[in-house]
Amino acid sequence: MNAIISLSRRSFIIGVAASAGGLSLGFNVPFIKPARAEGSEAAPEINAWVVIRPDDTVVIRIARSEMGQGTLTGLAQLVAEELNCDWAKVTTEYPSPAQNLARDRVWGNFSTGGSRGIRESHEYVRIGGAVAREMLIAAAAAEWGVPASECTARMGMVTHAASDRATFYGQLAAAAARMTPPANVTLKDPKDWTIAGKPLPRLDTADKLNGSQVYGADLKLPNMLNAAIRACPYFGGKVESFDAAAVAAMPGVRTVVQVDETAVAIVADTWWRAKTALDALPIVWDEGPNRQVTSASIAAMLEEGLAANDAFIGAKQGDAGAALSAAGRTITATYAFPYQNHATMEPMNATALYTPERCEVWVPTQNGEASLAAAAEAAGLPVQQCEVHKIHLGGGFGRRGNFQDYVRQAVSIAKQVPGTPVKLMWSREEDMLHGAYHPTTRCRLTGALDADGNLTALHMRISGQSILAAVRPQGMQNGMDPVVFQGLVLSGTEGTLGYTVDNLLVDHAMRNPPIPPGFWRGVNLNQNALYVECFMDELAHAAGVDPLAFRRKLMAKHPKHLAVLEAVAERIGWDTPPAAGVHRGLAQIMGFGSYVAAAAEVSVTDGQLRIHRIVAATDPGHVVNPAQVERQVEGSFVYGLSACIYGECTVNGGRMEQENFDSYEVLRMAEMPDVETIILPSGGFWGGVGEPTIAVAAPAVLNAIFAATGKRIRTLPLKNHDLA
Amino acid sequence: MARLIINGTPRDIEVDPDTPLLWVIREQIGLTGTKYGCGVAACGACTIHIDGVATRSCVLPVSAVEPDQQITTIEGLSPDSSHPVQQAWLALDVPQCGYCQAGMIMAAAGLLMQNPNPADEDINAEITNICRCGTYNRVRAAIKLAAKAGEATQRG
């Protein structure tokens, strides 16, 4: 089926993006009418997405950020597919956030999170490629004086077979740029793809092998100074005083500055000298109102919510309360999920150059437009006088999107040394102490089993922190945070519960401790999959039914959820016994628009866990690059198993206790199981890839640990439990 | 003043002797392929070679390096990304964000120098670098591929 797409659709897409993006920082983004395309005659811009150089190099513009997830390559494949260009001649570039604003947001949303990079832009980038192709054909047809309908475009060349003429795109680009874009284009059926859908190597690998890839931390500008920063480690605290004179004469130090109310920075010739002076700087903190807050006090707050009367309802079917009261047999369990840090390998950083007329920022960012808004706000300048240069990210995982604290700090510092670029880089300790933490929630689940072992009622009471309430209150729905219910709702395309339970209630008692929460790769799907999938395992065992068979009975109306689950069960050999000493666990969930499942094989010997093998399956609807999907799925288990085994930030005295990788441990190579990925694209929808499979890592492994030991682990991380 | 031989070139550097070698390499020599990740030798992003031995440079004071020791960074591993480890990394398209990969590659190249045909247990023991994107399985496969290529070179 080919989709005929009217170009007027694009204005709708951009309109939606604009209302969701620019306003989120309480900031009016003025739209300036576009100047004409910037491409010179030497390298004409066919349209916003495509620039073709005379040597036939095709430069594809990528609006979303590349942070390792492969989106840059995938988006380029989609444009190139419709452009019918030679993939070997493709290169990419980022348009800047200021250009996007100046051109009426022609590139749409820059935000790169929620596994949305491809699934929410595939259509308009393909249209961009198709329009450029038609303009190239039109240019060739005009030059030859033949009907465009008689010309074809293939491999970077337009051909008119009847007159045996052909010419390369590079020769046509200047004329094509002057053509009127077609009103309608027809997008290819994915089954006809030759560039998209193929396991092509990434476009950005070579520079990562020899040290030439420049990350934000590596940026060098003429006359640049370096800044190290320390913000008040107590949440809600601020700077009371500091003794700049004590370090002013230390080597390399240029100035000691306060940054907003909360932080002190030292600007020096090198970062090491700035950090050394900062370590010697006497700072007195106003510790603020949260000195009594501890992990235990937060746990008590959430425990209260588990039984509280007030709760927001995320999913409701039948009457769970009545059914549970009347049930002959109920099972109850309480699970808990701790705070966790993103811990990107590249600590937060940004470089700013401020003058009273202009502010420029260079930053590894998941959302260039949010960076631009933050820069303008911190600079106190109109957005038209600001620019953000997006730099490659050393990991993002949600930390570098919504939260632009490091941009505001960098601009605040640069304002105090106007005319000189300043690179601000956080130490790892700063990064650990000032996260936007994967929030803590707990869940009490109560299920009713009838005499035949069928689940007749289920109540999931989630208690805990809302991300939206803290960071994006405009996304709340009458006080409710819908994100808390990821993967547990009954309708929509983002992530529905894969089970039919006649009497179901999923509700949330919002309890917000004074710890800054954030979007963390997988977001609330990680907690929710742990709760529902471990509890399904508990119910199956209570009913004396095989965990796969128990789920199957509830999944008749959820064939796509079931298909990925069946796929991992089959591949791991669920119906045949595992090797001696090896035990298995299963989990499935839907999130970020995709259906995912995992099966794990583990052994536990003298309390030592070994994860031997993971089989994962994903149905993201369409697949743009199966090789990159495989890498994302494999990587998601490193992230998910790190969280399962080690991930925990504990609060004591109103601050985090973990400051570095020696106390905030993560998975390393020795513990990494084999991961086999099954990709089952069923078509008809576009789901995300970077996040959803993280969520099934922990429950699959914990269910396997139960099979191995009879121990039911209900609180993460595993390192706190004795498996012997 | 310190004299260092970095990627074969002697360099005289005005530096406080306590400065970690990582920061001399990054900020004074200007080679930024070697990364800062933790500053406590826990993550391996700063791995370089000293006389062919993989070494974490973020806690090593520059004064601890002898003037005749050979320091090799990712930029000096090969002139053209032709080192067998770099070639294996390219063949398997290993990096994701890539930030930890210079350290990974240097650790892998160091391992293969000591042990040209490492078993899984050797890789587990020696490659303890942190990758948050999750490239471990491809790192392992690439080390084995590089080992094979090295064997072939030796035989050939």
Domains and CATH numbers, chain A: 3-203 (3.30.365.10), 216-288+348-425 (3.30.365.10), 295-340+437-720 (3.30.365.10)
How far apart (Å, rounded) are the C-alpha atoms in residues B110 and B44? 13
Q: In angstroms, what separates the C-alpha of A549 from chain B's closest C-alpha?
A: 32
Instruction: Mark whether B94 and B149 lie in a shared domain.
Output: yes
Chain A residues near residue B102 by CB distance under 8 angstroms: 211
Q: Is residue B46 part of a domain?
A: yes
| Pair B59, B98 in one domain | no
- Which residues of B fall within a CB distance of 8 Å from A346? 35, 37, 97, 99
B51-100 pLDDT tens trace:
999 999 999 999 999 999 999 999 999 999 999 999 999 999 999 999 99
Q: Where are the beta strands (DSSP E) in A369-440?
A: 386-390, 422-425
Do residues B60 and B90 share a domain?
Answer: no
Q: Are residues B56 and B95 in the same domain?
A: no
Which residues 125-184 of chain A have a CB within 8 Å of chain B? none
Interface ipTM: 0.97
B1 touches chain A (CB under 8 A): no
pLDDT for position A24: 28
Q: Which of A70, A218, A669 lies closest to B136 in CB terms? A: A669
B88 and B44 inside one domain: no
CA atoms within 13 A on the CB side of A691: 32
Partners of residue A425 in chain B, C-beta under 8 Å: 36
Q: Looking at per-residue confidence, does A722 or B152 come out higher?
A: A722
**Of B43, B74, B105, which closes a domain?**
B74
Q: Which residue of A has its CA nearest to B104?
A: A209
- Among residues A201, A191, A286, the alpha carbon closest in space to that of A683 is found at A191
Residues B64 and B45 in one domain: yes
Q: Which residues of B touch A396 (CB under 8 A)?
A: 97
In a domain, B64, yes or no: yes
Q: B10: domain CATH number?
A: 3.10.20.30
Q: Say if residue B92 is in the same domain as residue B150.
A: yes
pTM over 0.90: yes
B124 touches chain A (CB under 8 A): yes
Helix B101-114 and helix B84-91, axial crossing angle in degrees, nearest 10 = 130
Does residue B100 lie in a domain region?
Answer: yes
In-domain check, residue B150: yes
Among B46, B74, B102, the domain boundary falls at B74
Report residues of chain A scoring pLDDT below 70. Answer: 1-42
Domain check: are B115 and B69 in the same one?
no
Could you say which residues from 393 to 432 on chain A have a Cβ atom under 8 Å away from some Cβ of chain B? 393-397, 425, 427-428
B33 and A212 in contact by Cβ < 8 A? yes
Q: Do residues A226 and A274 touch, judged by C-beta distance below 8 A?
A: yes
Residue of B nearest to A393 (CA): B97
Q: Is residue B91 part of a domain?
A: yes
Instruction: Find out whether A411 and A332 touch, Cβ atoms under 8 Å.
Output: no
Residues 4-43 of B with CB under 8 A from A: 16, 19-20, 23, 26-28, 30-40, 42-43
Based on the domain organization, do B102 and B134 belong to the same domain? yes
The tally of domains found in chain B comes to: 2
pLDDT at A31: 31
DSSP, collapsed to helix, strand or coil, labels residue A652 as strand
Could you give the CA distance from residue B3 to residue B16 in angstroms, rounded to a whole number?
12
Contact A352, A216 (CB under 8 A): no
Domain shared by B89 and B43, yes or no: no
* B107 is a domain residue: yes
User: Counting one residue from A and one from B, how many pairs have CB atoms under 8 Å apart?
Assistant: 168
Contact criterion met (CB < 8 Å) for B35 and A217: yes
Residue B79 lies in a domain: no
Q: Which two tokens stand for residue B49?
A: 């070679």
* Residue keyed to tokens 């009217």: A6
Reported as a pLDDT band with limits 50, 70 and 90, residue B154 is low
Dihedral pair phi/psi, residue A588, rounded to 5°? -145, 155
B52 occurs within a structural domain:
yes
Using the 8-state DSSP alphabet, how is residue A202 labeled?
P
Domain boundary residue among B47, B74, B101? B74
Residue among B20, B43, B77 minimizing CB distance to A661: B43
Residue-number span of the structural domain to which B46 is assigned: 2-74
Q: Which residues have C-beta within 8 Å of that of residue A167, sequence separation ≥ 6?
A: A140, A143, A157, A158
Categorize the per-residue pLDDT at B2 as very low, low, confident or very high, splitting at 50, 70 and 90: confident
- B98 in the same domain as B65: no
Instruction: For residue B106, give the CATH number of its domain.
Output: 1.10.150.120
Q: Residues B65, B14: one domain?
A: yes
Rounded CA gap, B65 and A51, in Å?
A: 50
Give B11 to chain A, closest Cα distance, Å. Answer: 18
Among A residues 313-342, those touching chain B with beta carbons less than 8 Å apart = none
Give the pLDDT score at A14: 31
Report chain B's terminal Cα–Cα distance, integer Å: 45
- Chain A within 8 Å of B132 (Cβ-Cβ)? yes
- Contact present, A538 and A333 (Cβ < 8 Å): yes
